[in-house]
Amino acid sequence: MDRDVRDGKVKLVSEPLAFLGPDSVEAARAALAAAEQNRYWPYSSLLFENQGAESSGYVTDTFLRGLAQDTPGLDVDEWSSDLSGSDFNSELEAAQSKAQTDRVNATPTLVISRPDGQKTLVGPEDYAQVADAINQVDGS
């Protein structure tokens, strides 16, 4: 997939969906705050690698700040200011609306689309599945 993205065949977009309780809302807000510094992907990766049980309350200020401190290139003070100064509601609502339109209700879900077709993968297990879906939609 890296080759497909670099060659411009595929554009990878991540939407912050917050449908797993209050933890997911705060986690999504923190990721969007990291995005203000173009650090969404590294922050989100750490978030997924360190996530706790659903609706367990693991998303605390200390947890989120620790991830921010571990995110390469992220100015933690600026991230903290963005997190407290922005509500990110419009971004979260737009992502929720798009997810409903695309019938996304689980993570991870990949929606591979082109003007003439779309393929949805829920919980793809390996790159072969993703590559096959790209080729199906691409017509290759």
Question: What pLDDT digit, counting tens, does each position of 87-118 carry?
Answer: 788 888 888 888 888 888 777 788 787 777 77
Task: List Cα–Cα distances, 129 to 3, 27, 85, 91, 133, in angstroms.
Answer: 15, 28, 40, 29, 6
User: Residue 122 carries which DSSP code?
Assistant: E
pLDDT category of residue 39 using cuts at 50, 70 and 90: very high
pTM for the model: 0.76
User: Is residue 47 in a domain?
Assistant: yes
In a domain, 51, yes or no: yes
In a domain, 31, yes or no: yes
Range of the domain at 81: 15-101
Give SS3 for 67: helix
State how many domains the chain has.
1
In a domain? residue 54: yes
Q: And the tokens for 138?
A: 């691409």
Do the domain assignments include residue 36? yes
Is 89 domain-assigned? Answer: yes
Q: Which residues pair with residue 113 across a beta bridge?
A: 118
Among candidate residues 127, 135, 117, 138, the one with its CA nearest the CA of residue 1? 127
From the list 100, 101, 106, 111, the residue with the least C-alpha distance to 123 is: 106
| Contact of 93 with 17, CB cutoff 8 Å | no
In a domain, 119, yes or no: no
Contacts with 68 (C-beta within 8 Å, 6 or more apart), sequence order: 30, 34, 43, 74, 76, 79, 80
Residue 2 placed within a domain: no
**pLDDT higher at 42 or 16:** 42
